Amino acid sequence: MLYIPLLIRPLLGLLVLTSACSPPEEEVSDNQSNVTLQAPGKKGKKGGHKKKNNDELPAGLRRVGHLADGIFESSGLCAAPEAGTYFTFGDDGQQPTVFRVDATGQQVGQFTLGAPNHDWESLSRDNSGNYYMGDCGNNNNDRRNLAILRFRPEQPDQVSKINFRYPDQTEFPPSKKERNFDCEASLWHAGQVYLFTKDRAQETTCKVYA
């Protein structure tokens, strides 16, 4: 078990992330596999946060553009194979469309992914050109059909579905004070997809699964 302490800002306090490694998933003939994620360690220390005006930008950042009309509630962003362009997509229940935009947010392409958008939240890619869509939004902490969708942009109708569940979740939904099973972000690193939860109960701890 690996504990990763991250000091965000003095005002935010100390956020402790926990993660664990699991072996790579084996390919299955029907393009589906089932995974039980490694359980995280104990919760991190409490921290606080301040509400900010949405128009304010952190120091050192500047706005270069905005997403074009037709891309509603963009939920993730990932570099596309074409230099200077990025993939993005809509959130809960929208069409299974992946948009390609340039660095100013203008749409330059799109394709339909061969899987429904239950609640897509994040997109990452590996070093071989595979992309991993996290269909893992779980605001109410009651979903039983969580999945990672693996695909290649040149063949978007061919999707490998990796079903998964959280080993430390036994109730659907759990009590309100235990609702920390909503994954809103992910990344690929060294052969693993890491999932980051949003703590809807205490708003203090992010759990990391791999």
Q: CA-to-CA distance for 135 and 163, rounded, in angstroms? A: 10
Choices 1.10.3720.10, 2.40.10.500, 3.10.150.10, 3.90.730.10: CATH for 2-47+67-209: 2.40.10.500
pLDDT mean across residues, the chain: 81
Q: CA-to-CA distance for 22 and 196, rounded, in angstroms? A: 16
Selection from 18-27, 69-78, 162-171 with the highest mean pLDDT:
162-171
Give the model's pLDDT for residue 39: 60
Q: CA-to-CA distance for 184 and 146, rounded, in angstroms? A: 12
**Lowest mean pLDDT across 44-48, 105-109, 132-136:** 44-48
Give the model's pLDDT for residue 32: 65
The share of the chain scoring above pLDDT 70, in percent, equals: 75
Give the model's pLDDT for residue 70: 83
- List the structure tokens of 58: 């952190």
**More confidently predicted of 88 and 64:** 88
| This prediction's pTM | 0.77
CA nearest 19: which of 6, 34, 32? 6
What strand order describes the sheet that includes 107-112? 76-79, 85-89, 97-102, 107-112
Report DSSP state, residue 132: E
**Model confidence band, residue 112 (pLDDT cutoffs 50, 70, 90):** very high
Cβ(107)–Cβ(100) below 8 Å: yes
Indicate whether 148 pLDDT > 90. Answer: yes
Q: CA-to-CA distance for 43 and 7, rounded, in angstroms? A: 15
Q: What is the pLDDT of residues 3-58, one digit of tens each?
A: 232 322 222 222 233 233 233 333 333 456 676 676 665 444 444 445 555 578 89
Residue 98 is inside which H or E element, if any? strand 97-102
Give the model's pLDDT for residue 74: 94
Averaged over 79-104, what is the pLDDT?
Answer: 95
Residue written as token pair 């084996």: 26
Cβ(24)–Cβ(155) below 8 Å: no
Beta carbons within 8 Å of 71's beta carbon, 6+ residues apart: 88, 90, 99, 101, 107
Averaged over 107-136, what is the pLDDT?
Answer: 97
The structural domains of the chain, with segments of one domain joined by +, span 2-47+67-209
